[in-house]
Amino acid sequence: MAAAGVCALWSAAPSVAADANFRWFHYKGSDPVDAVAKPGAGEFRNPVLAGFYPDPSIVRVGPDYYLVNSSFSWFPGVPVWHSRDLVSWRQIGNAIDRPGMVDFKGKELSQGLFAPTISWHDGIFYIANTCFACGGNYIVTATNPAGPWSQPHWFPELGWGIDPSLFFDEDGSAWLLNNDVPPGGETYPGHRAVFLQRLDLPSMKLVGPRRMILNGGVKIEEKPEYVEGPHIFRKDGFYYLTVAEGGTGEKHAQVVLRARELEGPYEPFAGNPILTQRGMDPKRPFPVSSAGHADLVQTQAGDWWAVFLATRPYRDDIYNTGRETFLLPVQWTADGWPTILKPDVPIPHVVKRPSLPRDPAPPLPTSGPFEVRDEFDGSAPGLHWMTMRGPADGWMKLGGGTLTLTPRAEGLGDLASPSFVARRQQHMNMEASTLLSFKPGAGEAAGLGIIQRDEYWFALLLADAGGGKREVRLLLRDGAATPAAGKLLARAPVPDGDIRLRIVAEGERYRFDWAPARGEWRTLLADTDGTVLSTWRAQGFVGAMVGPYAVKVVP
Burial class of residue 170 (count of CB atoms within 10 Å of its CB; 0-12, 13-18, 19+): exposed
Residue 80: CB atoms within 10 Å: 25
**Cα–Cα distance between 467 and 426 in angstroms, integer?**
40
**What Cα–Cα distance (Å) separates residue 217 from each residue in 171, 183, 222?**
28, 15, 9
Nearest to 451 by CA among 486, 483, 481, 499: 486
End-to-end CA distance of the chain: 35
Coil, strand or helix at 464: strand
**Cα–Cα distance between 309 and 327 in angstroms, integer?**
9
Half-sphere exposure of 543 toward its Cβ, with a 13 Å CA cutoff?
28
- CA dihedral sign of residues 356, 360, 362, 367: positive
The answer to whether 474 touches 490, Cβ cutoff 8 Å, is: yes
Residues tagged active-site: 55, 228
Strands 64-68 and 112-121: unpaired
Nearest to 179 by CA among 159, 199, 198: 159
Instruction: Please give the single-letter amino acid code of residue 440.
Output: P
**What is the separation of C-alpha 456 from the centre of its chain, rounded to a whole number of angstroms?**
17
Report the side by side order of strands in the sheet with 174-180.
Answer: 162-168, 174-180, 193-200, 205-215
| HEC profile of 213-236 | EEECCCCHHHCCCCCEEEEEEEEC
The answer to whether 126 touches 92, Cβ cutoff 8 Å, is: no
Which H or E element spans position 125?
A: strand 124-132
The answer to whether 420 touches 449, Cβ cutoff 8 Å, is: yes
The answer to whether 259 touches 241, Cβ cutoff 8 Å, is: yes
Q: Name every residue whose Cβ is closer than 8 Å to that of residue 527 and which is 6 or more positions away in sequence.
A: 509, 511
Q: Name every residue whose Cβ is closer than 8 Å to that of residue 439 and which is 6 or more positions away in sequence.
A: 17, 18, 470
| HEC profile of 381-432 | CCCCCEEECCCCCCCEEEECCEEEECCCCCCCCCCCCCEECEEECCCCEEEE
Q: Name every residue whose Cβ is closer than 8 Å to that of residue 531 and which is 6 or more positions away in sequence.
A: 318, 320, 508, 537
Question: Based on C-alpha coordinates, what's the Rg of the chain?
Answer: 23
The answer to whether 2 touches 10, Cβ cutoff 8 Å, is: no
